[in-house]
Amino acid sequence: MSIVTCHFESTCHHPKLFLNEYKRTNRTKKTKILRCFPHCCPEHLNRSYCGSALCVRVKLVNTDDLDAQQQTATVATNDPTSLLMYARFEEAQANFLNLNDEVDLDGVKSSIQTEQTPKGTWIQGTVKPDSTTDSHNYVRLGFSLPRGSWSCPIVEHPLKCELNVRP
């Protein structure tokens, strides 16, 4: 058993990874596209869907190495590359998942966002190569910018949404 810790990792020079609010664009088939998520990189494009990929740094550690205030969860592996990671958008005030909640993997896999299913709820992460990692306890997992834009199924406001971003 290992303890897993994770945090978002910036992969560019921007001082802030996430914004407090994002604009959305309506597309055909009522698909909502999130603009400028998590931020415009390398710069804002007026007539396109700005954004960038997201990376999460995951580390497997011993309980002795943890800060007492740090939130953690246990996993039954010592190999960080064997971890699976999925992301989803939810409204800022929603509390869909909490630490140590269990989610049905088949349910997640049946609702992955793809080119064929742009309204899928979940986005699948992949292991990203990381030449700076010098320890076998680290892995860098990432979410690529799907199809050049992030689809956002949140319905709270037709043109903007607030997100609760947490690893």
What is the pLDDT, as a whole number, of residue 106? 93
* CA–CA distance, 59 with 101 (Å, rounded to integer): 19
Amino acid residing at 17? L
Look up the domain containing 50 and give its range: 2-161
Amino acid residing at 63? T
Residue 56 within any structural domain of the chain = yes
CB 88 within 8 A of CB 121: yes
Residue 27 within any structural domain of the chain = yes
Place of tokens 């409204």: 91
Residue 82 within any structural domain of the chain = yes
Give per-10-residue mean pLDDT for the chain (167 aa).
76 81 69 77 73 80 62 66 80 74 90 82 80 61 65 56 52
Residue 52 within any structural domain of the chain = yes
CB atoms within 10 A of CB 136: 11
Residue 66 within any structural domain of the chain = yes
What is the pLDDT, as a whole number, of residue 69? 53
Residue 167 within any structural domain of the chain = no
| pTM of the predicted structure, to 2 decimals | 0.70
Number of domains present in the structure of the chain? 1
What is the pLDDT, as a whole number, of residue 107? 92
Residue 47 within any structural domain of the chain = yes
Residue 62 within any structural domain of the chain = yes
